[in-house]
Chain A
Amino acid sequence: DSGVTQTPKHLITATGQRVTLRCSPRSGDLSVYWYQQSLDQGLQFLIQYYNGEERAKGNILERFSAQQFPDLHSELNLSSLELGDSALYFCASSYGQGAQNEQFFGPGTRLTVL
């Protein structure tokens, strides 16, 4: 158990809908990273928050947004869903932002868009 929690574990929804994925980092970790894992794109970085502030953006679509709350949990919002958004979404947390700081991954949320 990494100490990072993600809910829900599975999500099935229809095209055009909006969903929210939730992540609670390990106790004491200030950084939260969101990644998307799909068959065609592999594991891709989406966005990072550090202590409530957005710090970096990767290949995140405009239909997607995220935030980190004062208690450091984070939510990833996906709207106007398309079939291609079906993927495994991971949240990872890290105490610091240095190259040596390990990122601990949550169990992931498997999103299926029908």
Chain B
Amino acid sequence: AQKITQTQPGMFVQEKEAVTLDCTYDTSDQSYGLFWYKQPSSGEMIFLIYQGSYDEQNATEGRYSLNFQKARKSANLVISASQLGDSAMYFCAMREPHGSGNTGKLIFGQGTTLQVKP
């Protein structure tokens, strides 16, 4: 069964420092997508970054980068130069293509709460 595991319920980071949020996944499919979403206290889900299973290079989006290690089935999110506004819950998610028994839905981890200290 497909599964996403985020082992860090809560993390603290000093402002302007980098932080890594861990994510491991389990799937038997060869084609899949990995996503990170940010959920601030206001509740909305904000897309941060995407990594495809066939992508050879790690994805980057501004201060966000994804450390993709396919053999280890990990997709850690790295936030560089943390800002106070980065304080939020972060979700790792996996999506498989619709078809062959897959629904195309997103499967989410339990989330990591990040607090940035001034």
Residues of A within 8 A of B (CB): 2, 31, 33, 35, 42-43, 45, 48, 50, 55-58, 88, 90, 92, 94, 97-105, 107-108, 110
Q: How far is the CA of A107 from the CA of B44 in the complex (A)?
A: 5
Within the complex, the shortest CB–CB distance from B95 to chain A, in Å, comes to 5
Q: Interface readout for B81-118 with A: 1 if CB under 8 Å, 0 if not?
A: 00000000001000111110001111110110000000
| Residue numbers in A under 8 Å from B62 (CB-CB) | none
Contact between B108 and A97, CB atoms less than 8 A apart: no
Q: How far is the CA of A56 from the CA of B96 in the complex (A)?
A: 13
Contact between B106 and A103, CB atoms less than 8 A apart: yes
Q: Which residue of A lies closest to B50 (CB)?
A: A102
Q: How far is the CA of A92 from the CA of B95 in the complex (A)?
A: 13
A selection of 14 A-B contacts at a CB cut-off of 8 Å is A2-B47, A33-B106, A42-B108, A45-B107, A55-B103, A55-B104, A58-B103, A97-B104, A100-B50, A103-B47, A103-B95, A104-B47, A105-B47, A108-B44
Within the complex, the shortest CB–CB distance from B93 to chain A, in Å, comes to 8
B105: contacting residue among A33, A98, A107, CB under 8 A: A33
Contact between B105 and A58, CB atoms less than 8 A apart: yes
| Residue numbers in B under 8 Å from A45 (CB-CB) | 103, 105-107
Within the complex, the shortest CB–CB distance from B52 to chain A, in Å, comes to 5
Is B14 close to A, CB under 8 A?
Answer: no
Is B37 close to A, CB under 8 A?
Answer: yes
Within the complex, the shortest CB–CB distance from A91 to chain B, in Å, comes to 10
A99: contacting residue among B31, B43, B47, B111, CB under 8 A: B31
Contact between A102 and B35, CB atoms less than 8 A apart: yes
Contact between B44 and A99, CB atoms less than 8 A apart: no
For the A-B complex with A92-B106, A99-B95, A102-B50 known, give 12 more contacts whose Cβ atoms are closer than 8 Å.
Answer: A45-B105, A45-B106, A48-B104, A56-B103, A56-B105, A57-B103, A90-B45, A94-B104, A98-B97, A103-B35, A105-B37, A105-B47
